[in-house]
């Protein structure tokens, strides 16, 4: 095991320890309820939408389809713009009848256990590739940073610990109650992701380029040539991507949980 791999493992363990410490602080009441139940915590927790696809997937989409990558962000933005007529009614139903998942919602709507079972299976099929991307992305990152052949094992261990923490803080209470601890940890993680993205933007602006003016010159010269050479999405492809990401904003299991089951009131969606 080389020094680089040891450093990455220690950094990962430190990050997990930070998340665990945040969860324990909320669980034991060291953080005031007025903070853990503040609407800003819920808003930050919606950052769970920004998974590995938010970086690797959208960048790959931008490289291959130009501005088509914006569909990843415009889809959920459209869903929340329609919150008064789309999300709030669903939230009202889930809170009134204590429905904690999309499968519960369909089973309730169609009065059929088979409908809930079918939705559960389809959700599993939809989520498995996303989970695979997360593990594969982490493995690739470790491989790039260390060159170690143990990158897959490190990624698997990291994901196992994350899953254990999610079970510890998410399954200790009834699914009918709001999981303040889990929500706070996700919100804290979103802050870290936001700071990391701002840091990457600063590096791109001031290290790769020599400030905003240099970036503007590149955009008007080589950037424009590169953009014209990049194939753009056709209108049907645009509509398909927008529809997929629009639906994903509230139909993926983890996003349904955060958007509806963990919300305090309809005002959090408005």
Q: Residue 37 has what DSSP assignment?
A: T
The alpha helices in the chain, defined as continuous H runs, are: 3-27, 33-36, 39-45, 52, 58-65, 71-81, 87-96, 102-110, 113-146, 151-170, 180-203, 212-218, 224-229, 235-251, 253-256
Prediction pTM value:
0.85
What is the CB-side half-sphere exposure of residue 56 using CA atoms within 13 A? 13
Contact 45, 264 (CB under 8 A): no
Q: What DSSP letter does each residue of 45-91 carry, written as one string?
A: HGGGG--HIIIIIHHHHHHHHGGGGGHHHHHHHHHHHTTTTTHHHHH
Residues 84, 88, 91, CA angle at the centre, nearest 5°? 175
- pLDDT (tens digit, 9 = 90+) per residue, 37-88? 888 999 999 988 887 777 777 788 887 877 888 888 899 999 999 999 999 9
pLDDT in the model for residue 149: 79
- pLDDT (tens digit, 9 = 90+) per residue, 231-242? 778 888 889 989
Contact 209, 221 (CB under 8 A): no
Residue 167 has pLDDT above 80, yes or no: no
Using a pLDDT cut of 90, give the percent of the chain over it: 20
| Averaged pLDDT, 93-106 | 88
pLDDT in the model for residue 129: 82
Domain extent for 238? 3-269
186 CB-contact burial (10 Å; exposed 0-12 / middle 13-18 / buried 19+): buried
Total count of domains within the chain: 1
């Amino acid at each position: 095991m080389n020094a680089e791999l040891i450093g990455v493992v220690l950094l990962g363990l430190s990050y997990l320890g930070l998340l665990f410490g945040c969860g324990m602080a909320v669980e034991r009441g060291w953080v005031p309820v007025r903070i853990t139940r503040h609407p800003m915590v819920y808003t930050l927790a919606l950052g769970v939408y920004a998974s590995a696809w938010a970086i690797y997937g959208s960048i790959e989409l931008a490289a291959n389809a130009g501005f088509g990558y914006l569909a990843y962000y415009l889809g959920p933005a459209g869903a929340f713009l329609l919150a008064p007529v789309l999300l709030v009614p669903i939230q009202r139903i889930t809170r009134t009848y204590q429905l904690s998942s999309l499968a519960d919602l369909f089973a309730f709507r169609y009065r059929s256990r088979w409908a809930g079972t079918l939705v559960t299976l389809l959700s599993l099929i939809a989520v498995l590739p996303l989970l695979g991307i997360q593990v594969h992305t982490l493995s690739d990152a470790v491989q790039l940073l260390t060159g170690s052949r143990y990158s897959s094992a490190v990624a698997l261990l990291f994901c196992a610990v994350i899953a254990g923490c999610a079970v510890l803080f998410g399954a200790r209470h009834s699914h009918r109650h709001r999981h303040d601890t889990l929500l706070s940890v996700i919100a804290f993680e979103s802050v870290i992701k936001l700071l990391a993205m701002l840091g990457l933007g600063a590096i791109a602006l001031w290290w790769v380029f020599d400030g905003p003016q240099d970036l503007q010159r590149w955009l008007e010269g080589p950037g424009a040539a590169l953009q014209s050479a990049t194939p753009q999405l056709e209108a049907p492809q645009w509509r398909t991507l927008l529809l997929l990401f629009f639906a994903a904003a509230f139909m993926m299991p983890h996003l349904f949980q955060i958007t509806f089951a963990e919300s305090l009131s309809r005002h959090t969606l408005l």
